[in-house]
């Protein structure tokens, strides 16, 4: 039997903290009160966060109207491109006719069938047709450029809308975070605030100790680790339950000693070194349905090394 009295009941309790800064508007619970998952623990004044949400929401309709206007302008600009393309086709047909007329007038003038004035008129008509075609090509290029400008403007406006939507989501999330809920069923403890108090970001407001999931953390000496392995039976005697023994089971062994996780680890590379036997935390599971326990209670643990699974070693628990 491997025993230690350096053992305590532990719980994975939740420390309730605020993500926002504000004044405490309401505390619906009291210390040592039982709560269910989702129950309201603290309400922070939400006035500023409601205003922030409304400001962000007010910007959204304007951007939606701007996007609708740009979409209409894009359609109009694309229609203009289509119209310019039709005018280009007409200009090309006119140019073809003018070229034919100019060639015919030139041939007739060379044969002295028509006058020089008729040839000049045909050439002028040809020049006008060429200019009209070039103007139509330029108009198409301008209309297409306008379409691209409008599309770029829409992308920019849509990006601004997404930013506003994200701002709305953030403001909505901040507003929801003004109400703090219980993360699980348990008992509220260590309520460290009062109504009207200004809390800062990350301030610890209270704690919630779960109803279930209590376990024992026993600190065994490094010289006792031989024979301790997951699965071994542990006999638990609690100071608060004198004369009543519980039978638990070793669940796991910490991969390092408790000193390794201390705030100020010992510096052993000094001239005044004194060897101290280190202790390794061992987690022990309690029987289901165990009642009357409180986190932090002292316990005495005896582990029966004979009940460890065959071939189990300390290394297997790491």
Question: How far is it, in rounded angstroms, from Cα 123 to Cα 100?
Answer: 10
Question: How far is it, in rounded angstroms, from Cα 200 to Cα 241?
Answer: 41
- Taking residues 117-131, what's their average pLDDT? 81
Structure-model confidence comparison of residues 7 and 315, the more confident one = 7
Residue 318 has what pLDDT?
45
pLDDT in tens, 132-144: 888 888 988 988 8
DSSP H/E element including 61: helix 47-110
Residue 202: domain span: 14-44+178-209
Residues 226 and 202 in one domain: no
- Taking residues 87-113, what's their average pLDDT? 81
Residues 279 and 216 in one domain: yes
Residues 220 and 309 in one domain: yes
Sort residue 243 into left (φ over 0), alpha (ψ -120 to 50) or beta: left
pLDDT in tens, 227-284: 888 988 999 998 888 778 888 999 998 888 887 877 777 777 777 777 888 889 999 9
Question: How far is it, in rounded angstroms, from Cα 38 to Cα 182?
Answer: 5
Nearest to 78 by CA among 24, 146, 162: 146
pLDDT in tens, 261-277: 777 777 777 777 778 88
Residues 153 and 52 in one domain: yes
Q: Rounded to an integer, what is the distance from CA 260 to the centroid of its chain?
A: 33
Residues 139 and 217 in one domain: no
Question: How far is it, in rounded angstroms, from Cα 229 to Cα 317?
Answer: 6
Residue 152 has what pLDDT?
92
Burial label for 108, CB within 10 Å (0-12, 13-18, 19+), is: middle
Q: Which residues pair with 247 in a beta bridge?
A: 235
Q: Quick check: 185 and 35 in contact, CB under 8 A?
A: yes
The number of folded domains in the chain is 3
Instruction: Report the percentage of the chain scoring pLDDT > 90.
Output: 37
Residue 310 has what pLDDT?
67
Tell me the CA distances in angstroms from 213 to 185, 249, 289, one per residue in order. Answer: 11, 14, 10
């Amino acid at each position: 039997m491997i025993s230690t009295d350096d053992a305590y009941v532990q719980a994975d309790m939740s420390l309730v903290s605020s993500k926002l800064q504000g004044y405490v508007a309401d505390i619906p619970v009291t210390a040592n009160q039982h709560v269910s998952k989702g129950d309201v623990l603290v309400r922070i004044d939400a006035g500023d966060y409601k205003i922030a949400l409304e400001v962000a929401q007010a910007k959204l309709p304007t951007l939606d109207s701007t996007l609708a206007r740009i979409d209409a302008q894009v359609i109009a600009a694309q229609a203009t491109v289509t119209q310019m393309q039709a005018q280009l086709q007409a200009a090309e047909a006119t140019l073809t006719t003018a070229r034919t007329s100019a060639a015919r007038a030139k041939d007739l003038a060379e044969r002295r069938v028509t006058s020089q004035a008729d040839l000049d008129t045909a050439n002028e008509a040809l020049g006008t047709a060429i200019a009209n075609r070039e103007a139509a090509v330029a108009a198409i290029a301008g209309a297409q450029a306008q379409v691209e400008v409008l599309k770029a403007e829409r992308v920019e406006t849509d990006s601004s809308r997404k930013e506003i939507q994200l701002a709305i989501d953030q403001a909505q999330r901040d507003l929801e975070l003004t109400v703090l809920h219980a993360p699980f069923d348990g008992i509220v403890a260590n309520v460290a605030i009062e109504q009207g108090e200004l809390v800062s970001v990350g301030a610890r407001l209270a704690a919630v100790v779960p109803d279930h999931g209590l376990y024992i953390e026993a600190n065994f000496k490094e010289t006792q680790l031989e024979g301790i392995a997951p699965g071994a039976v542990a006999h638990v005697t609690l100071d608060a339950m004198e004369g009543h023994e519980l039978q638990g089971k070793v669940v796991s062994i910490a991969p390092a000693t408790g000193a390794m996780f201390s705030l100020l680890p010992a510096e052993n590379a000094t001239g005044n070194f004194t060897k101290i036997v280190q202790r390794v935390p061992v987690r022990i599971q309690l029987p289901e349905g165990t009642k009357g326990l409180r986190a932090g209670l002292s316990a005495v643990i005896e582990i029966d090394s004979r009940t460890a699974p065959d071939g189990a070693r300390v290394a297997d628990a790491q």
